[in-house]
Amino acid sequence: MPGLVIIGAQWGDEGKGKITDLLAEGADVVVRFQGGNNAGHTIVRNGETWKLHLMPSGILHPNKLCVIGNGVVIDPKVLTDELDELRRRGVDTGALRISANAHLIMPYHMLLDHAGEMRLGKLEIGTTRRGIGPCYADKAARLGIRVQDLLDEKILKKKIVAALEPKRLGLRDFAKDPQLDLQTMTEEYLTYGHRIKQYITDTSKLVCDHLDRGEMVLFEGAQGTLLDIDHGTYPFVTSSNPIAGSACIGAGVGPKDIDEIWGITKAYSTRVGAGPFPTELDGPMAADLRERGHEYGTTTGRERRVGWLDLVALRYAARINSLTALALTKLDVLSGQERLLVATAYRGPEDAEFDHFPYHQTVLHHASGIYQELPGWEEDISACRSEDELPQAARDYLRFIEEFVKVPIALIGVGPGRDEVIWTKAGAATHAGSTAALAG
């Protein structure tokens, strides 16, 4: 009954798409359990680049069941566009299943997201403006529109009216926006309903049935631990829970169904949007790292903020998620640096030093990294396929991380392609299935 959860151990954009795509080789089912089209996965396969926003990464594997769970918020326009694009490029989407209980992003959610950010001005969160926050807010307020509502015109209309009522003030500026016309909106969403009807089902039961049959289910997280609404750098967070525990809620399985939890981290750090970032770099060093790592958002194209690897935050992610393994991506981006810094503690206000991730917003906002310096390496490592082939300094860098975080590194990314990885002994032992599939 193997359930494997993959989550981001930083601020998102860690390369989860590629790792999920690799592990999907050995999986029977791939499930997304939170977030929406604020996520963006880039997968490079056979020289072709795929940018997915809503679709589980497993969709590129033929006949792999792909599930959009109840915890995801769905913009049906994005979903149907993504389906069209995949079909146009020859991908069979027949194995997609969508939870009838997933919530829908409505046109007013996007307008409210945009207006909310404008109102905050300098204090803005830097959201993706995809309507994610307002949609989850409606879910909590019990005013959400769910996938199942798309199949009944009367219910859909009634629920839209109820959802719009308390938003009149916030939407005043958009009163004449044709997107908000009740009839137009209802018709548009009914059309989406017809288009995705064949995929809608009780995905919780479906996933549990597969787990009961002993099949391997991969739960694919979006965003990252430090963007978690409860455990991240609130309020500079997303509106869902990207941590491992959320896989149970967002897919409808029990905690005992999870056997392994992989945290994905880059070999350095990035963040998009506003909020604290204790190891952030600026100046030419930041520009260089951004260029080498192509650190621009998949979803919004925004420049990512970049910084040194933050081991204080990574150890926190290991604890919050009960990580059983780490996958470390983009190690190749660090080639050519004479020295590498990793934060092993923070310096806070009044010069206080601490070695844990601070719970208090004010402390965190003033925290900066206290670094351990490690030697870098010159060599291009993108052709390395085993740890032994890596330069000694790269191996020492990996060992330092493992020992500090106390979680073994199972997989190392040395380039963007799906074959540009190194499976360590820890990874190969746990995922012989995927390794064999890769070798084949």
Smallest gap from Cβ 274 to ligand IMP, in A, equals 6
Total residues contacting ligand IMP by CB under 6 A comes to 21
* Contact pick of 186, 223, 329, 430 for ligand IMP (by CB under 6 A): 223
If the CB atoms of residues 60 and 272 are measured against ligand IMP, the closer one turns out to be 272
Binding status of residue 107 toward ligand IMP by CB under 6 A: no
Does the active-site annotation cover 13?
Answer: yes
* Contact status, residue 387 vs residue 368, Cβ threshold 8 Å: no
* Contact pick of 221, 273, 348, 358 for ligand IMP (by CB under 6 A): 273
If the CB atoms of residues 211 and 267 are measured against ligand IMP, the closer one turns out to be 267
Count CB neighbours of 256 within 10 A: 10
* Contact pick of 10, 13, 206, 261 for ligand IMP (by CB under 6 A): 13
Determine the 3-state secondary structure of 90 from DSSP: coil
Binding status of residue 30 toward ligand IMP by CB under 6 A: no
If the CB atoms of residues 26 and 242 are measured against ligand IMP, the closer one turns out to be 242
What whole-number distance in Å separates Cα of residue 208 and Cα of residue 224?
Answer: 25
Angle subtended at Cα 166 by Cα 161 and Cα 168, rounded to the nearest 5 degrees:
85
Binding status of residue 327 toward ligand IMP by CB under 6 A: no
Smallest gap from Cβ 40 to ligand IMP, in A, equals 6
Binding status of residue 132 toward ligand IMP by CB under 6 A: yes
* Contact status, residue 241 vs residue 24, Cβ threshold 8 Å: no
Total residues found in the chain within this entry? 440
Smallest gap from Cβ 38 to ligand IMP, in A, equals 4
* Contact pick of 2, 3, 5, 12 for ligand IMP (by CB under 6 A): 12
Q: Which residues contact 249 (CB under 8 A, 6 or more apart)?
A: 33, 71, 241
* Contact pick of 17, 26, 40, 415 for ligand IMP (by CB under 6 A): 40
Does the active-site annotation cover 310?
Answer: no
Q: How far is CA 287 from CA 42, 100, 134, 266, 300, in A?
A: 21, 44, 34, 17, 19
Binding status of residue 332 toward ligand IMP by CB under 6 A: no
* Contact status, residue 269 vs residue 17, Cβ threshold 8 Å: no
Binding status of residue 324 toward ligand IMP by CB under 6 A: no
Binding status of residue 18 toward ligand IMP by CB under 6 A: no
By CB atoms closer than 10 A (0-12, 13-18, 19+), residue 90 is: exposed
* Contact pick of 233, 238, 241, 321 for ligand IMP (by CB under 6 A): 238
* Contact pick of 3, 76, 133, 250 for ligand IMP (by CB under 6 A): 133
Which residue is nearest to ligand IMP, using beta carbons? 273
Taking the CA atoms of residue 385, residue 391, residue 393 and residue 396 in that order, the dihedral angle to the nearest 10 degrees is 40
Give residue 140's Cα distance to chain centre: 21
Catalytic residue among 21, 41, 149, 257: 41
Q: Bridge partners of 296?
A: 303
* Contact status, residue 173 vs residue 115, Cβ threshold 8 Å: yes
**Catalytic residue annotation:** 13, 41
- List residues binding ligand IMP (CB under 6 A): 11-13, 38-40, 125-128, 130, 132-133, 222-223, 227, 236, 238-239, 272-273
